[in-house]
Every structure is written in structure tokens, then in C-alpha cells.
Amino acid sequence: MPFRGENVYPRNIKVNRTTYVITDTDKSTGYANIAVTWETPFPDANYTLAQGITNLAALDTINAVSSGENHLVTASGFTAQIYVNGSAITGDSIVLNTIAIHDLALLP
């Protein structure tokens, strides 16, 4: 279950931690799509994302996955695409850590 930090941070900053398990399909295609949904939506899709990946298993997998691109960004969430190379270990768990800052948070 994703960690929800929205009650701790100002309404224009959101954090999310999503656990994901590497599959054979991820290894063969070279990527995985991870859906991230905000507990409470932003007012629009004008926010900036920063991500990192934490490994929960074998050391080999952390070197085999990396943050990629973000797609389908909406007020409610987005799809994170992570890169997975062939040395990743099927069944290993990773955590996608995300922070989002809405553009309104940057205004004076």
C-alpha cells in the first residue's frame, strides 16, 4: 500500500511511495509502467515531479532499474515509466519514491 504523506505537507506538495515487483515482461520490454495516484488531486496538472527508486531486494536489481519518463500527467496522478535492463531479477521489489510540487507553491 502506498505511503501517503499529504496530511503532513502543505496542500501544494505531495509525496508518494509505491512498491512494485519486477516481472519478466519488464525485463524483455526494457521498462515498466507504474500508476501513481494522489490521495487528493491537485487543482490541475501544473506540477513538477522528482523521483527516486529504492531497492528492497538484491543489489543487482538496483543497478538494473532507473527513473525514466512521466506520462499521462493529470491532476489526479500520472504514470511513471522506469527503465529495466536484463540484469534485473524477476520478483525483486522496488519502491518508487515521488514528490510533486504544484506551481502555485512557488508563487509569492
The 8-class DSSP code of residue 88 comes to S
Q: What is the pLDDT of residue 62?
A: 60
**H/E segment holding residue 25:** helix 24-29
Among residues 100, 76, 93, 74, the alpha carbon closest in space to that of 32 is found at: 93
- CA–CA dist 42, 76 (Å, integer): 7
Domain boundaries, the chain: 3-103
Query: Is domain 3-103 given the CATH code 1.10.1660 in the classification?
Result: no
Tell me which residues of the chain have a pLDDT lower than 70.
1-10, 58-63, 105-108
CA distance 37 to 77: 4
DSSP single-letter state for residue 27: H
Note the pLDDT of residue 7: 46
Q: Is the pTM of this model over 0.75?
A: yes
